[in-house]
Amino acid sequence: MTVMKSETKSITREKAKWMYEKMCEIRQFEDKVHEIFSKGVLPGFVHLYAGEEAVAVGICAHLDEKDYITSTHRGHGHCIAKGCDLNGMMAEIYGKATGLCKGKGGSMHIADVEKGMLGANGIVGGGFPLAVGAALTAKLKKTGAVAVCFFGDGANNHGTFHEGINLAAIWKLPVIFVAENNGYGEATPFEYASSCKNIADRAAAYNIPGEIVDGKDVVAVYEAAGRAIIRARNGEGPTLIECKTYRNYGHFEGDAQKYKTAEEKEKHAKELDAISKFRNYVLSKQLVTEKELEEIEGKVIEAVKNAVEFAEQSPFPQAEDLLKDVYVSYE
Amino acid sequence: MTRKISFSQAINEAMKLAMRKDENVILLGEDVAGGAAVDHLQDDEAWGGVMGVTKGLVQEFGRDRVLDTPIAEAGYIGASVTAAATGLRPIAELMFNDFIGSCLDEVMNQAAKLRYMFGGKAKVPLTIRTMHGAGFRAAAQHSQSLYALFTHIPGLKVVVPSTPADAKGLLLSSIFDDDPVIFFEDKTLYNMKGEVEEGFYTIPIGKADIKRKGSDLTIVAIGKQVHTALKAADMLVEKGLETEVIDPRSLSPLDEDTILSSVAKTGRLIVIDEANPRCSVATDISALVADKGFDYLDAPIKMITAPHCPVPFTPVLEDLYLPTPEKVLHAVAEMIGDESFVAV
């Protein structure tokens, strides 16, 4: 099995602009949450996606609102890539009534079912069967939708990995299982926790394709996802894509990350940074101009700033909201 | 028009009617059809569940809607949650409620909490049918009654029917309910027959049924234990006591009003629950009456439950495990302070 490098000019100019914008939005959003969290403004705890942008964006670039994704505790990036509203997301993280989940879910449960975003998930490995269920609906109702299951390297040792992928494989469901291997499950290195060398190697056990991709290369992710989605939409069943990536921040905010080396952090922040890499790519291919990229960067900064203002100015839920939405009906 | 059919047939009929009414209703679980992809097997030879409760459904609805799953509860129960949230109305069969250990996360953290966590922007119209109950000589891992576990979790509804007619009407309500419902079927009731209306009807979830009227004593009994209560009530008539037997039918929501009104009338309460006693539905109903109906009580509340032990295999011990009408009579004797009461 080889690491797939980007090989074609499959990305249109419009797509390239969208991808660059979404990657910048994720980075800007997460850097801002990092900053706000350190001031003690936010309740609870947050897990940031910065560094892994190429994965969510490269995959979601193929999806529309009828397609589904399941996410993880590190879900902000998936939300943004799937088109969730930044204001609603930020307000949710603040616990405000205007949040996407009216402040009831928070960072770990942000969802927008109408956009096919079936929720960040506080349970590691929780997403496998959930993606399978959404794909089952797609298959039985013949909607043509696919379901993407984003999961971390930590989840690849969970029992639901086996049950979910096996079920999707025997029923030939339109699922793309996307491993975001950032090298650490919490503070434990992937190599220690997993008996396999690569997560994608495990695909062989389910008789489905397994592909390893440079998760810092959004073009490579986009191309691998394209192949998997064609398979899925053609009724050929699931694919397992492993994206080798890295998280720039800790497992959660406040994690001192002593298990990382200074060298690897530096290397990933600079030399291997996915956004810089894609920026250079689109310029070298003359897909987008420098001026256009700068416009996008300015727009993103503004959008995230507005999201923070929106969240800060929004009201908290009322006491009577405590008991709302436990059930549709309960008499 | 009613006719006599079994508890098992009533449940089968409910699923058949639901699947005819709405093409989004699917059934999935281990061998709910049986023998998937076995070329020589005719559909009428398929198991239809380990107890035959789902027999015949695959013939009418096909294998796209009656799905045999691997023995992988986390996988297919979890899939049922989002299948429900994205437009289907699945009936998932968890063969024995004791297997919940393999998929509790999918029920407790996903099915139950999705709607609340998403600020009301999702619904999970999922019914999980599951067998419970001792007395089948099925030993510790296939016999427990775990409805209290689910009653504890907000976001789930819990239904425990005791008769074929209730089972049919309540299952139809469960399937067409927009919240996740855990529907308990006592495996020792499957062959019990009773009068059941033909055609489609529903019984509201959250409404208790007074199975027998009485003025001297209230017995609240769950599932199969309703029949223990009714036998005890017959025996108590000979002792000059008229017993009111209340079947809550659903434990979440619980029809508190019917229970409290009855105790207000009789002044005495016995709860029969074959589950283990700690943190049980029996303690919950007792606490309800102690809290909101203390002034009605003329005697301490009595609970007749299984002991705090797993279900034993050997018939000699399993028979000791379960509540009996005799245990009810002993409780009444203690209640009224007359030991001679139980002397034969």
Arithmetic mean of pLDDT, B253-267: 98
Residue A328 in contact with partner chain B when CB distance is under 8 A: yes
| Subunit contact A129:B118, Cβ cutoff 8 A | no
Please identify among residues 84-103 of chain B the ones whose CB lies closer than 8 Å to any CB of chain A: 84-88
d(CA A298, CA B66) in angstroms, rounded, equals 54
Neighbours of B253 (CB within 10 A): 18
Chain B: residue whose CA lies nearest to A136: B83
Helix (H, G, I), strand (E, B) or coil at B234: helix
Residue A1: its pLDDT value, please? Answer: 44
Chain A: residue whose CA lies nearest to B126: A133
Residue A19: its pLDDT value, please? Answer: 98
CA B219 to chain centre: 17
d(CA A27, CA A218) in angstroms, rounded, equals 14
| Subunit contact B116:A326, Cβ cutoff 8 A | yes
User: How do residues B177-233 score in pLDDT, each as one tens digit?
Assistant: 999 999 999 999 999 999 999 999 999 999 999 999 999 999 999 999 999 999 999
- Whether A312 contacts A94, CB under 8 Å: yes
Residue ranges covered by each domain of chain A: 13-323
Arithmetic mean of pLDDT, A94-123: 97
- Provide, as residue numbers in chain B, all residues whose Cβ is less than 8 Å from the Cβ of A133: 78-86
User: How do residues A256-275 score in pLDDT, each as one tens digit?
Assistant: 999 999 999 999 999 999 99
User: How do residues A179-221 score in pLDDT, each as one tens digit?
Assistant: 999 999 999 999 999 999 999 999 999 999 999 999 999 999 9
Give, in words, the CATH class of A13-323.
alpha beta
d(CA A79, CA A66) in angstroms, rounded, equals 15
User: How do residues B15-67 score in pLDDT, each as one tens digit?
Assistant: 999 999 999 999 999 999 999 999 999 888 899 999 999 999 999 999 999 99
Arithmetic mean of pLDDT, B245-249: 98
Range list for CATH 3.40.50.970 in chain B:
2-197
User: How do residues A51-75 score in pLDDT, each as one tens digit?
Assistant: 999 999 999 999 999 999 999 999 9
- Provide, as residue numbers in chain B, all residues whose Cβ is less than 8 Å from the Cβ of A114: 121
Residue B336: its pLDDT value, please? Answer: 87
Q: What is the pTM of this model?
A: 0.95
Range list for CATH 3.40.50.920 in chain B:
209-336
Between strands B250-252 and B157-159, the pairing is antiparallel
Tokens found for residue B253: 């929501």
Report which DSSP code applies to A36. Answer: H
Q: Please say whether the dihedral angle defined by the alpha carbons of residues A53, A56, A60 and A61, taken in this order, is positive or negative.
A: positive
Closest partner residue to A113 among B64, B79, B118, by Cβ? B118
Residue B339 clears pLDDT 80, i.e. is over it: no
Residue B5: its pLDDT value, please? Answer: 98
Task: Name the residue with higher pLDDT: A13 or A1.
Answer: A13
pLDDT band (50, 70, 90) for residue A331: low
Chains A and B: how many Cβ contacts under 8 Å?
A: 150
Letter string b/e over residues A291-326, b meaning 16 or more CB atoms within 10 A of that residue's CB: ebbeebbeebeebbeebbebbeebeebeeeeeeebb
CATH of domain B209-336: 3.40.50.920
Residue A113 in contact with partner chain B when CB distance is under 8 A: yes
Residue A8 clears pLDDT 90, i.e. is over it: no
DSSP secondary structure of B125-164: --EEEEEE-S-SS--TTS----HHHHHTSTT-EEE---SH
CATH of domain B2-197: 3.40.50.970
Arithmetic mean of pLDDT, B310-323: 97
Percent of chain A with pLDDT over 70: 97
Letter string b/e over residues B263-272, b meaning 16 or more CB atoms within 10 A of that residue's CB: beebbbbbbb
Residue B131: its pLDDT value, please? Answer: 98
Length of chain A: 331
Neighbours of B15 (CB within 10 A): 26
Residue B249 in contact with partner chain A when CB distance is under 8 A: no
Report which DSSP code applies to B310. Answer: P
Amino acid code (one letter) for B156: L
Residue A3: its pLDDT value, please? Answer: 52
Tokens found for residue A303: 């959008």
Prediction ipTM score: 0.94
Residue A2 clears pLDDT 60, i.e. is over it: no
Residue B338: its pLDDT value, please? Answer: 78
Arithmetic mean of pLDDT, A118-132: 97
| Subunit contact A111:B83, Cβ cutoff 8 A | no
